[in-house]
Chains A and B, each alone.
Chain A
Amino acid sequence: EDKVVQSPLSLVVHEGDTVTLNCSYEVTNFRSLLWYKQEKKAPTFLFMLTSSGIEKKSGRLSSILDKKELSSILNITATQTGDSAIYLCAAPNFGNEKLTFGTGTRLTIIP
């Protein structure tokens, strides 16, 4: 059975700090890994990673995939209170695109 594990489960930092969130996976027919941000409602898409070692960046957020280690990290620099959310990592089953999610990392930014 496919498995995605995230750490830490929760993280509390001060505004301006840099954070690193971790995701590891065991997925048959691995093709990609996705990061989502979930505030109060719908998870919103952040990144899709398919190639090892290539960083994807969007503003203060960046993410990279390591296929050798079966893992990915999500970095957020100069955190702001608006970054407070649950960050979900997920891997789709190739073919039906059924996503297996981790439990998420709850990030809280203190002003």
Chain B
Amino acid sequence: DTGVSQDPRHKITKRGQNVTFRCDPISEHNRLYWYRQTLGQGPEFLTYFQNEAQLEKSRLLSDRFSAERPKGSFSTLEIQRTEQGDSAMYLCASSMSGGRAYNSPLHFGNGTRLTVT
């Protein structure tokens, strides 16, 4: 399967702990996005990368959140000092950009469900 994969699928952590999630995009895709989804809501944009460059961060992304894509392939999203409000599904998506970028829909991974107790 060459889709977007995310790890872990579920993470339960205590408030104040740090967590890190990993996303492996579709291999030929140069854009990678992180979204967060809470119950009853659509996904909300957090940040995105073109190759290894982080090009935009949402205001939702407090300074406790950091994302990296060191070699332009996989990405990690770290949340430091987790809070109960961080409990959500964290979705990664990738796409191919170049030229008529809007013709390349995002392909999503299955997400990492974070529960902060």
Contact = CB atoms under 8 A, between A and B. Distances in A.
B56 A90 contact: no
Contact of B48 (A43, A45, A94, A96): A96
Bin chain B's interface residue count.
20 to 34
Interface string B76-105: 000000000000000100010100011111
A88 B42 contact: yes
A99 interface: yes
A45 B106 contact: yes
B38 to A, nearest CB: 10
B43 interface: yes
A103 B41 CA distance: 5
A42 B101 contact: no
B22 interface: no
Interface in A59-89: 88
A97 B41 contact: no
B33 A98 contact: yes
A31 B109 contact: no
B94 to A, nearest CB: 11
A45 B105 contact: yes
B108 interface: yes
B56 A42 contact: no
Contacts of A98: 33, 45, 48, 56
Contacts of B4: 42
Contacts of B111: 41-42
A99 B41 contact: no
B61 to A, nearest CB: 13
A4 B43 CA distance: 12
A31 B105 CA distance: 12
Interchain residue pairs A-B with the least CB separation, the first 5: A101-B42, A41-B110, A42-B108, A31-B102, A45-B105
Given A31-B102, A45-B106, A48-B105, 14 more contacts: A32-B103, A42-B4, A43-B43, A45-B105, A50-B102, A88-B42, A97-B31, A97-B48, A97-B95, A97-B97, A97-B104, A99-B45, A101-B44, A103-B41
